Structure 1
Amino acid sequence: MHARVTGLVFAIYYPVLAVLGIPGNLVTIVILSQEKCGLSKCITRYLLGMAVTDLLFLLMAVVLHRISMLYFPDLFLHTTPVCSARIVLILMARDSSVWLTVAFTFDRFIAICCPKLNTKYCNERVAAIAIGTVCALSCVKNIPWYFLYEPLYTINNVPWYCNIKLSFYSDLLWAILEWIDRILIPFAPFLLMLVLNALTVRHILLANRARRRLRPRSNRENQSDPEMSSRRKSIILLFTISGTFIVLWMAYFLNFLNVRIKSGNYSTGSANEPTFLFQEIGIMLQLLNCSTNTCTYAATQRKFREEFKRGLNYPLNLFINRVKS
């Protein structure tokens, strides 16, 4: 009974996620590409990179993996070579998305907490180099996983599905690659996000306290501080993005600590067991994190909302003008 309910939830959740998340990321990419949101080119490059990798992650992990397995289990996508390549592409997109979020958080940490390094490191050129480096390293890191799988069974000389090779559990090389993957996703990004945000908050509180002491008493009582107001607006986007990441990755991270370290294996049992359900909830929230870009920017950026509304009204205005003409 529990397995049927779980299957029904998956069958509804992933199509809804694809219908909302993929168009949302496409809209975000289009709006940010126009560079009319009042953001610096450096920030825009990071947000564009995150939106593109989130879109690829949703396409690979939700549409070509989860939905195709639920509704089209006999599709050619599930032959072993294609299945292995798909898993590698999912990992590449996932790692790129996660580490671009970390890179953006680090960039904003430098901009807010290290003003002397702001001009040198927080610019469009460094952002482009960081994005290219993150994506290239994510691709190289995950190529070996293509060779991890063997056919689950063969029909008419066609290998189907991906089954982990037994050598994975005994070979030293696979053990090393596994622990590198464990550290890089999700352990290091999660801790880096927490540390960088904690340091940023601490710096902001100390800077605001010092600035209030330096201002005249009359200004404290009767006027707002333009610099503090500007700083407040600039960090809202950072904390919204990184905070959303931390919250939605929390279940995945806790599952990592429980299953990967405590249990020491990848087995999560049947669909009726709590460990399996907790793992799937972590994956569902992890994928949801890649669908929140539009909501995040709309909630924090006024000019993004204006461009979004203008885009929604464009077809209607075009239709009205055609009717009038």
Structure 2
Amino acid sequence: MAVADLLVVVSDVILRRIGWNYFSFSFLDITPVCSLIYFLVFATIEISVWLTVAFTFDRFVAICCEKMKTKYCTEKTAAVVLGTVSVLSCLECVPWYFPYEPEKIVDNVPWFCILKTIFFTSPAWAAFDMFHRILTPCAPFILILLLNVLTVRRILVSSRVRRGLRGRSNGENHKDPEMENRKKSIILLFSISGSFILLWVGRVGYNIYLRIADSRYYYSYTDSVYIVQSTTGMLQLLSSCTNTCIYVLTQTKFREELKNIVTYPLNLIVKLVKS
């Protein structure tokens, strides 16, 4: 998830926003490269969003489905889910490479990307655009809310039962390792899925409203539309930055691996100098 979120930052923030706004007429503005960047933006966002759903489902299974837990919550299953989500997301976003055409041609070189007229008039493109907006992030939004509600319900019920049984058997309050582990899992779960919901809710409402209003208006750039687009887009991108911070704050193993990645080049340089 952290890698997927980093790719969102690279493609959407660095290549798209910084590259196009501050390095005009660079190779990033050539139409084929520009179309590729759009594809990467859509694909990385979709991967990031659906990996958040996968993580939420994994925590749901681990907490609510004891029989399924031993088979599903394994490294092999995690690798399969990661690969499947990444491949399917990339395949679903391939059409986003094609609806753009050059804004201008200079010395036979196509520059910049604008949407073709057929994108607004073709029923096929309208259906694909609506399908994509429902797939990301409307469907994940609903799934995360549903899974969180079911998970919270199960935790509350099992916590009451467990406290009652331990109170009867021990007659006094002792720390329960199982409950401590559940608390940590819940903190991580709600930190990630909760931040996702809060930061994406504006974008979801904005997409629904504008798609209902008018498809052409959706892609227009009046002052009011630009302000809303920029604000909701900023919050959406911020959701791609929070997961890494949450992992650093809550996961000891993640902090250790991150420390190893940072210190490995330094240790390698020290060894080379000594040798």
TM-score by length of 1: 0.76
Note the C-alpha offset of 1:176: 1.6
Q: Mapping of 1:96-111 within 5 angstroms?
A: 96-111=47-62
Note the C-alpha offset of 1:236: 1.8
For the residue of structure 2 that corresponds to 1:291, the secondary structure is helix
CA distance in structure 2 between the aligned counterparts of 1:263 and 1:121, rounded to whole angstroms: 43
- For 1:266, which of 198, 204, 218 is the aligned residue? 218
Work out whether 1:297 is the aligned partner of 2:247: yes
Note the C-alpha offset of 1:302: 3.9
Structure 1's 202 and 163: CA in aligned 2 closer, same or farther, altered over 3 A? same
CA distance in structure 1 between the aligned counterparts of 2:264 and 2:212, rounded to whole angstroms: 52
Tell me the alpha carbon deviations over residues 146-190 of structure 1, each in whole angstroms, 9 at most, x when there is no partner: 110111111222111111111111212112211110110111011
Partner of 2:191: 240
- For 1:64, which of 9, 15, 26 is the aligned residue? 15
Q: How many residues align?
A: 274
CA distance in structure 2 between the aligned counterparts of 1:234 and 1:267, rounded to whole angstroms: 40
Partner of 1:283: 233
- For the aligned residue pairs, the C-alpha RMSD in angstroms reads 2.7
Tell me the alpha carbon deviations over residues 203-228 of structure 1, each in whole angstroms, 9 at most, x when there is no partner: 10011111122223473643122221
Structure 1's 318 and 200: CA in aligned 2 closer, same or farther, altered over 3 A? same
Partner of 1:19: none
CA distance in structure 2 between the aligned counterparts of 1:250 and 1:220, rounded to whole angstroms: 46
Tell me the alpha carbon deviations over residues 270-289 of structure 1, each in whole angstroms, 9 at most, x when there is no partner: 2x32x321221111121122
Overall identity of the aligned pairs, in %: 52
Note the C-alpha offset of 1:260: 2.2
Partner of 1:13: none
Partner of 2:64: 113
Partner of 2:137: 186
CA contact (8 A) 1:212 1:220 kept: no
- Aligned residue identity for 1:139: C
For the residue of structure 2 that corresponds to 1:73, the secondary structure is coil
**Runs of 5+ consecutive residues of structure 1 not aligned to the other structure:** 1-49
Partner of 2:77: 126
**Runs of 5+ consecutive residues of structure 2 not aligned to the other structure:** none
CA distance in structure 2 between the aligned counterparts of 1:149 and 1:313, rounded to whole angstroms: 43
CA distance in structure 1 between the aligned counterparts of 2:175 and 2:226, rounded to whole angstroms: 52
Structure 1's 267 and 86: CA in aligned 2 closer, same or farther, altered over 3 A? closer
Note the C-alpha offset of 1:126: 1.3
TM-score by length of 2: 0.89
Note the C-alpha offset of 1:310: 7.5
Note the C-alpha offset of 1:75: 0.6
- Aligned residue identity for 1:113: C
- For 1:249, which of 182, 200, 215 is the aligned residue? 200
CA contact (8 A) 2:167 2:173 kept: no
